[in-house]
Amino acid sequence: MTVRATAAALCALACTALSNPVNAANFEFWYGNTGKIEEAIQANCASFNAAQSEHKVTCVGQGGYEVAMQKAIAAYRSKTHPVLIQFFDAGTLDLLLSNAVVPVSEVLPDVNWNSYIGGARSYYETSKGALWSQPYNASTLIFYGNREALASVGVSELPTTWEGVIEVATKLRDAGHACPYATDGHPWRVLEQFAARHGAPVATKGNGFGGLDAEYAFNAGLPAKHMENLAGWRKDGLVRLAADTRAGKFADAFNAGECAMIENSTGGYSSHLAALGDKLMVGLAPMYEGVERRNTLVGGASIYVMKGHGEDQIKAARAFLDFLRDPAPQLEFVKATGYVPVTQAALDLIKTTDRALDPAFAVAELGVGSMDVAGNEYSRGIRLGFFVQFRDIFMEETQKAFNGEKPMQAALDSAKTRGDELLRRFQATYAGVTLP
């Protein structure tokens, strides 16, 4: 749907135009996405401007989440910053301690923030439950399979456990399938989402929510066992890394029919559906047998309110955030991008209308359900400093293990040591600061 068509469709459903132009405000919203997601963001912005006349938002792409934050902080120091900024999950603590943003629950104190999906909300909350930012483009981890490939070995349903995944993968390998299961080994998939839904720690202190003195803990227990298993399964020809595939990317290899099963973001659903059609199968990310399922984490990004703006611009920002929270703009965004709804009201609108029959919304309930499972202190989210840099370290070390350069346990121990060094640097930078 074009920006103009989307704006027209949503105008009738949006808030009624306000009649007093005296306090009208133009304001900016900076975001980090490109491609079809950027198009959907611009459609939301055009719809808001078309739905009312009191305020006008200018939505400015920055080419990436990290670039957007760096520019916004620099602009904050020079007092040329936007009112709203979109930022991704991994940099949450870095942004919270920048002193450049104010909790959205303070800006909008009358909103029932409990209307947001639990897993989408908890990642961005303070330790006391106040919400720092408004969830926007939300995704989570689910399981994908190729119906045709699985049927070739007599399997009609996606496995729900890792034991089941390997049983199916063994059948596929023995039948000559070169890529039963594929992954890129990214920590968002193999560590963060894995640990969250298994209720296991990535780090102490509730993954950092309890204080800046947290230490990494993923090199023991179930997360370490899983990484050891992945390395072993790769040696056995049951798991392929992205570099092992002809496509060179695990999602592309799945779309091409080269690989039979993957874990991937709900945000990948639209591309998988376009490639595989009715051969595509979806389900919850697998668990190890005997472990209680907890919620998966929200991926994607949320919207923060930056400090230092007058009441007229804050009023305009409130109106825009209210608009984005409405179910209709949410679902237009979901349909255009493959992200999932972030409020129960938006999900209910899918379930009670003909949208439920639209393949574009097929993973909405699945993804929301995965994030809305009862959690524990380790499935709340990640609140660790320099976490973006840590992800690079984790990838570097575990790739050495996958390549046979060192045992996986040694790689995990090294990643923990290097990660803890980052945490201590971050702690020193914010010495004396109490986490909100």
Kindly list the distances between the CA atom of residue 334 and the CA atoms of 188, 306, 365, in Å, as whole numbers in the listed order. Answer: 21, 26, 12
Q: Do both 147 and 120 map to the same domain?
A: no
- Which pair of tokens denotes residue 69? 């934050």
Q: Collapse the DSSP code of 112 into the 3-class scheme (helix H, G, I; strand E, B; otherwise coil) and give the result.
A: coil
Q: Are 138 and 190 in contact (CB under 8 A)?
A: no
Residue 127 resides in a domain: yes
Distance, CA of 49 to chain centre: 27
Provide the CATH number for the domain around residue 214: 3.40.190.10
Q: Do both 270 and 313 map to the same domain?
A: no
Residue 90 resides in a domain: yes
- Which pair of tokens denotes residue 212? 């800046």
Count the domains in the chain.
2
Residue 408 resides in a domain: no
Q: Do both 133 and 76 map to the same domain?
A: yes
Residue 429 resides in a domain: no
Across the chain, how many H-helices and E-strands are there?
Answer: 20, 11
Q: Do both 286 and 308 map to the same domain?
A: no
Residue 53 resides in a domain: yes
Q: Do both 32 and 7 map to the same domain?
A: yes
Q: Which residues, in sequence order, are CB contacts of 399 under 8 Å at separation 6+? A: 185
Q: Do both 125 and 10 map to the same domain?
A: yes
Q: Do both 60 and 121 map to the same domain?
A: yes
Q: Do both 117 and 222 map to the same domain?
A: no
Continuous segment of H or E residues that includes residue 183: strand 181-183
- Which pair of tokens denotes residue 77? 């120091």
Q: Which of 67-72's residues contact partners 24+ apart within 8 Å by CB, and which partners? A: 67/32, 68/30, 68/31, 68/32, 69/32, 69/94, 69/95, 71/30, 72/30, 72/100, 72/306
Kindly list the distances between the CA atom of residue 406 and the CA atoms of 82, 398, 411, in Å, as whole numbers in the listed order. Answer: 47, 9, 7
Residue 185 resides in a domain: yes
**pLDDT at residue number 172:** 98
Q: Do both 320 and 191 map to the same domain?
A: no
- Show the domain range for 327: 3-139+298-352
> How many Cα atoms are found within 13 Å in the side-chain-facing hemisphere of 302?
28
Residue pointed to by tokens 């063994």: 170
Q: Are 9 and 1 in contact (CB under 8 A)?
A: yes
Residue 220 resides in a domain: yes
Nearest residue to 234 (alpha-carbon basis) of 311, 303, 180, 171:
180
- Which pair of tokens denotes residue 200? 């296991």
Q: Collapse the DSSP code of 277 into the 3-class scheme (helix H, G, I; strand E, B; otherwise coil) and give the result.
A: helix
Rounded Cα–Cα distance for residues 288 and 294 (Å): 12
Q: Do both 149 and 190 map to the same domain?
A: yes
Q: Do both 11 and 155 map to the same domain?
A: no
Q: Do both 290 and 393 map to the same domain?
A: yes
Distance, CA of 270 to chain centre: 16
Show the low-confidence residues of the chain (pLDDT under 50): 1-22
Nearest residue to 41 (alpha-carbon basis) of 324, 363, 422:
324
Residue 250 resides in a domain: yes
